[in-house]
Amino acid sequence: MAKGLQPSTEEIRRFIGEWNNKSPQELADGFGWSYQYVCKVASEIRAIDNNLCPKKEKPKREDVLKEAIQMYHQGEKSSL
């Protein structure tokens, strides 16, 4: 595990169970860890068992921008 914090086996078990349903930031908030620590723990778990805690796809900036622009235009239409 990463230096400093030493999560319990119960925390790691829970972390693995919640990985597929929560974002790294949600996990960080829920465990009281930093975002970076969550990513490090997931990476270390993957190094031991590649089937656990698969990498999460990051949204591409262009996709986020397109979605925001679409929401903006929908808001414009509803305010008319």
pLDDT by residue (tens digit) across 3-51?
A: 567 899 999 999 999 999 999 999 999 999 999 999 999 999 999 999 9
- Give the predicted TM-score (pTM) of the model: 0.69
- The count of structural domains within the chain is 1
DSSP structure class, residue 57: P
Structural domain harbouring 38: 9-78
Residue 65 located in a structural domain: yes
User: How far apart, in whole angstroms, are the C-alpha atoms of residue 26 and residue 15?
Assistant: 11
pLDDT by residue (tens digit) across 49-70?
A: 999 999 988 778 998 899 999 9
Q: Find out whether 28 and 34 touch, Cβ atoms under 8 Å.
A: yes
Residue 1 located in a structural domain: no
Residue 4 located in a structural domain: no
Alpha-carbon distances, residue 71 vs 25, 63, 68, 74 (angstroms): 23, 12, 5, 5
Residue 73 located in a structural domain: yes
